[in-house]
Structure 1
Amino acid sequence: MHKKRVLLLSEGFGSGHTQAAYALAVGLRSLDASVQTRVIELGNFLNPVLGPLIVSAYRRTVTKQPKLLGRLYRRQYKKSLNRFTQLALHRLFYTHTSQVISQLKPDLIVCTHPVPNAVVSRLKRLGLQTPLYTLITDYDAHGTWTSSEVNKYLVSTNEVKNKLRERGISANRIQVTGIPVHPNFWQTHDKSELQAQFDLKPMPTVLIMGGGWGIMYSDDLLSYMTRWRDRVQLIYCVGNNEKVRERMLADPDFQHPNIKVLGFTKEINKLMDVSDLLITKPGGMTCTEGLSKGIPMLFYEPIPGQEEVNCEYFVASGFGEMLESRETIDRWFEIIQEPYSSVKFRNDLLHKRNQQYNPMECSRVVLQLMQ
């Protein structure tokens, strides 16, 4: 019996796209052990020297010139990648994509980033018969995700579906599935055991995340939070940004028994379970992980573009609010001092989550479409 093969293509422009690909892969295999999956960050795979340089340049732009990124996002918002751009991408970086597909022989290709989506779309115009699904990993529908060669769009919400419909994409090519998260984020852990594992005290705890790249701009607010360190336990996760971590560890404000400064970790799901409040950049994947845990969220300094739209969606849905001032910090840090209020708030969010989101829905839909 032929085993179904799914090829998931992403890019390393931020960690969320690839995390979504891995989450979908794990979900597919958990539902059907016979499914074979392969996740590839296509640019890095085909160009191991040039690929990381391009990602690094993008990261510097995000860090140093976020407003420029926002202008580009808005300027191209309604435009798909034109055929000349697709040809240029293919010739410059992706000339061996067809060989990779031929070798792996997938029954289905899922793209979680617009660039490999455009490259595969071009190959389909040239004769590739493999179905192409596009998993949009934000709560917006930028034009660069769209292509007439996409067989099915997998989207986070009805709002994103409606945005695609406004661009003339037929409803039967769009499925609302939610953004998949790793099954670890659907499990709950004993809080006292986690406190022992991470050397934490049984006290109100706040998790502060700067994204996979550890980008944190608001030094003033980060330092201000430490004024609560006698009453609130603070866990700072700065991702792969070792310079930020070293700077924080050398700062007297962060040198306290109730403050942890962590680098990259694969245990964010456990840290969310042991925390009462999440303060984060509003990346699509991090927000969805927070949603799956039912943890209240405060969002700070969204990157202009998709993070702004992510933030708007989660605020409007009642899962979080913008971190606009010290007063916001004071109010929320007071809320989590009261155990009853904190537990009730989280239970309400979990109830709302159960009504709106199922982390395995995307995997189920993909399996059904493969039948």
Structure 2
Amino acid sequence: MRKKRILLLSEGFGAGHTQAAHALAVSLRQLYPEFQTRVLELGSFLHPTLAPLIFNAYRKTVSSQPKLYGKLYRFQYKKSLNPLTQLALHQIFYRQTSEVIRHLKPDIIVCTHPFPNVVVSRLKRSGLSIPLVTVVTDYDLHGTWVDPQVNKYLISTNDVKSKLLKRGVPEQKIEVTGIPVHPSFWQRHDRSNIREHFGLKAMPTVLVMGGGWGLVGDHSLFDDMVKWSDQIQFVFCLGSNEKALQKMSETPGFQHENVRLMGFTKEIDKLMEISHLLITKPGGITCTEGLAKGIPMLFYKPIPGQEEENMQYFTENGYGEQIMSRETINRRFHMLLEEYEDVGKHEVDRPITPTDMTNPYPPAGYSKAIAELLM
């Protein structure tokens, strides 16, 4: 008997959607060896030349004109895409999706981005009989996620569930599972080994992320941060932002022995393990990874729309705080040093956290929800 096939469809508008798809795929394979998974960024797969141009234009718009992006987000907030827009999206960008599905023969389709979700929903209205699971990757619900053809929604919180119910989605189609993150974020590692691996010291450590989306644009903020380098160790993860990496590496303040500049890495889970504070844009996946690791967060300039909603959830629940000014950073750095002084001798065994950070949803919940549809 052949393995059950799970096709996970994402899109390249930000890394989080695809990270969630891969995290879910890994979790499913670990828990259910009888399942076979395949992750595709559908637009990139169908249009390998055109898609990167579109994604790059999107990134530039979000980074340089966040207010415009916020207006577009709010304009469509309570509405699904209308049939004409769905048709245009399908004809221009996703016309060959049905052929991909026919070739791969999945038993279930999981979408972690609204666009493939819209396209598969449209195919289901035309006769496709494969179950469709929609994984909402933020702590909010935009209208483009919602479609009557979805068989099951896997969502982050009860607040998102309430929004789905208000939009007429039957309760039996909704399951609050939390957002998928890679299983490695739920594991605990030996911190001494991690520090040795990265050449880092056992001292108060701040992890800074978000370079690929413009966080490094405010160099004055970073300049103020690294003034603390004699007392605090900084790890800047700049993703694929090579220009920022080069510029910062040539700046004297970032040449301190307690400042580490890094490009793209697949070991964020390990860096979070040995960090005491995370400074980041409030993307749904990064925030959930920080929650899994129990690391307190400071949020920098959320993009109007889903990042604002993510930040609201995490600040209201005591998991993080928005950076309102340099005073916010200075105050939190003082707190970090005081807490480290109190518990530093034991910090290898437990993280320093000013709040009780516990994820209310079991890490395997999203995998089990999908498995139940295949049993």
Same fold (TM over 0.5): yes
- Asked if structure 1 preserves the Cα contact closer than 8 Å seen for 2:239 and 2:265, the reply is yes
Structure 1 pair 214/186, CA: closer, same or farther in 2 (3 Å)?
farther
TM-score (norm. length: structure 2):
0.95
Superposed counterparts of 1:83-122, under 5 Å:
83-122=83-122
Superposed counterparts of 1:146-225, under 5 Å:
146-210=146-210, 213=213, 215-225=215-225
Name the structure 2 match of 1:353. 358
Name the structure 2 match of 1:316. 316
Q: Shift in Å at residue 164 of structure 1?
A: 0.9
Listed one character per residue, the Cα deviations across residues 107-150 of structure 1 (whole Å, up to 9, x for unaligned) are: 10000000000010110011000011100000000001111111
- Asked if structure 1 preserves the Cα contact closer than 8 Å seen for 2:296 and 2:353, the reply is no
Aligned: 1:251 with 2:251: yes
Q: Shift in Å at residue 326 of structure 1?
A: 1.4
Name the structure 1 match of 2:234. 234
Name the structure 2 match of 1:365. 369
Q: Which amino acid counterpart does residue 138 of structure 2 have in structure 1?
A: D
Q: Which amino acid counterpart does residue 353 of structure 1 have in structure 2?
A: T
| Secondary structure class of the residue paired with 2:56 | helix
Listed one character per residue, the Cα deviations across residues 81-103 of structure 1 (whole Å, up to 9, x for unaligned) are: 11111111111111110000001
- Asked if structure 2 preserves the Cα contact closer than 8 Å seen for 1:229 and 1:258, the reply is yes
- Asked if structure 1 preserves the Cα contact closer than 8 Å seen for 2:63 and 2:213, the reply is no
Distance 2:224 2:330 in 1: 10
Name the structure 1 match of 2:76. 76
Distance 2:19 2:25 in 1: 10
Q: Shift in Å at residue 358 of structure 1?
A: 1.9
Structure 1 pair 87/303, CA: closer, same or farther in 2 (3 Å)?
same
Name the structure 2 match of 1:28. 28
| Secondary structure class of the residue paired with 1:200 | coil
Q: Which amino acid counterpart does residue 96 of structure 2 have in structure 1?
A: H
| Range 229-238 or range 338-347, more displaced | 338-347
Q: Shift in Å at residue 334 of structure 1?
A: 1.6
Distance 2:119 2:276 in 1: 42
Aligned: 1:124 with 2:124: yes
| Secondary structure class of the residue paired with 2:240 | coil
| Secondary structure class of the residue paired with 1:353 | coil
What percent identity do the matched residue pairs reach? 60
Name the structure 1 match of 2:272. 272
Distance 2:107 2:164 in 1: 25
| Range 279-288 or range 216-225, more displaced | 216-225
| Range 209-218 or range 39-48, more displaced | 209-218
Q: Which amino acid counterpart does residue 295 of structure 1 have in structure 2?
A: I
| Secondary structure class of the residue paired with 1:314 | helix
Q: Which amino acid counterpart does residue 19 of structure 1 have in structure 2?
A: Q
Q: Which amino acid counterpart does residue 72 of structure 1 have in structure 2?
A: L
Distance 2:224 2:44 in 1: 39
TM-score (norm. length: structure 1):
0.96
Q: Shift in Å at residue 34 of structure 1?
A: 1.1
- Asked if structure 2 preserves the Cα contact closer than 8 Å seen for 1:206 and 1:233, the reply is yes
Q: Shift in Å at residue 214 of structure 1?
A: 5.7
| Secondary structure class of the residue paired with 2:207 | strand
Q: Shift in Å at residue 2 of structure 1?
A: 3.4
Q: Shift in Å at residue 216 of structure 1?
A: 3.0
Distance 1:205 1:358 in 2: 28
Listed one character per residue, the Cα deviations across residues 159-209 of structure 1 (whole Å, up to 9, x for unaligned) are: 001011111111111110100110110111111111111111111100000
Equivalent residues, number: 369
- Asked if structure 1 preserves the Cα contact closer than 8 Å seen for 2:294 and 2:358, the reply is yes
| Secondary structure class of the residue paired with 2:216 | coil
Distance 1:152 1:138 in 2: 16
Q: Shift in Å at residue 347 of structure 1?
A: 6.0
Q: Shift in Å at residue 346 of structure 1?
A: 4.1
| Secondary structure class of the residue paired with 1:336 | helix
Distance 1:88 1:12 in 2: 19
Q: Shift in Å at residue 336 of structure 1?
A: 1.8
Distance 1:136 1:291 in 2: 17
Q: CA RMSD in A?
A: 1.5
Aligned: 1:11 with 2:11: yes
- Asked if structure 1 preserves the Cα contact closer than 8 Å seen for 2:139 and 2:306, the reply is yes
Q: Which amino acid counterpart does residue 279 of structure 1 have in structure 2?
A: I
| Secondary structure class of the residue paired with 1:290 | helix
Q: Which amino acid counterpart does residue 165 of structure 2 have in structure 1?
A: R
Structure 1 pair 15/212, CA: closer, same or farther in 2 (3 Å)?
farther
Distance 2:373 2:332 in 1: 44
Q: Structure 2, unaligned stretches of length 5 or more?
A: none
Name the structure 2 match of 1:53. 53
| Secondary structure class of the residue paired with 2:358 | helix
Q: Structure 1, unaligned stretches of length 5 or more?
A: none
Q: Which amino acid counterpart does residue 61 of structure 2 have in structure 1?
A: T
Listed one character per residue, the Cα deviations across residues 285-308 of structure 1 (whole Å, up to 9, x for unaligned) are: 000000000000000100110000
Distance 2:324 2:200 in 1: 28
Distance 1:214 1:72 in 2: 20
Structure 1 pair 171/348, CA: closer, same or farther in 2 (3 Å)?
farther
Distance 1:352 1:252 in 2: 36
Q: Which amino acid counterpart does residue 175 of structure 2 have in structure 1?
A: Q
| Range 340-349 or range 74-83, more displaced | 340-349
Structure 1 pair 348/230, CA: closer, same or farther in 2 (3 Å)?
closer
Superposed counterparts of 1:137-152, under 5 Å:
137-152=137-152
| Secondary structure class of the residue paired with 1:216 | helix
Distance 2:107 2:272 in 1: 36
